[in-house]
Amino acid sequence: MPGYERALPPPLNLRRLYAETLELEPVLITISPGADPSQELAELAAETVGRENYHEISMGQGQADVALATLRESSRNGEWLCLKNLHLVTSWLPLLEKVVCSPVVIS
């Protein structure tokens, strides 16, 4: 289909994204079904902040409190947190937004 390739977003380049963001700036990456950049993100984290400073949580039942506690700890310590499967916890997203958008993450 002519012009179709122009309608597609550019491929995700995590290294470029990292270079363009501020250290304290949260980043939200939305992906298509079947896409999973978490391995590439983990590798970038290992190179930049260290593998021990990268955390992943697959969201689902019972993970909200764990995610918030990890977010607060990661925020205080300069660590990275990847929350996966947010589509499973849409009712929780307003709370996540409130915490992420607050000037200081309070424990």
Token pair 């990456």: residue: 29
Two structure tokens written together for 77: 């310590």
Dihedral sign (CA 19, 104, 80, 8)? negative
> In this predicted structure, what is the pLDDT of residue 23?
82
Q: Confirm if 67 and 73 have CB atoms less than 8 A apart.
A: no
Q: How many residues does the chain have?
A: 107
Residue 84 and residue 56 in contact, taking contact as beta carbons nearer than 8 Å: yes
Which of 12, 19, 20, 59 is CA-nearest to residue 40?
12
One digit per residue, the tens of pLDDT, for the chain of length 107 reads: 565 656 666 778 999 999 998 888 888 888 888 888 999 999 999 999 999 999 999 999 899 999 999 999 998 888 999 999 999 999 999 999 998 888 764 44
Q: Is the pTM of this model over 0.75?
A: yes
What pLDDT sits at residue 107? 47
* pLDDT confidence of residue 1: 55
- Determine contact, residues 83/49, Cβ cutoff 8 Å: no
**Given this model, what pLDDT does residue 7 score?**
63
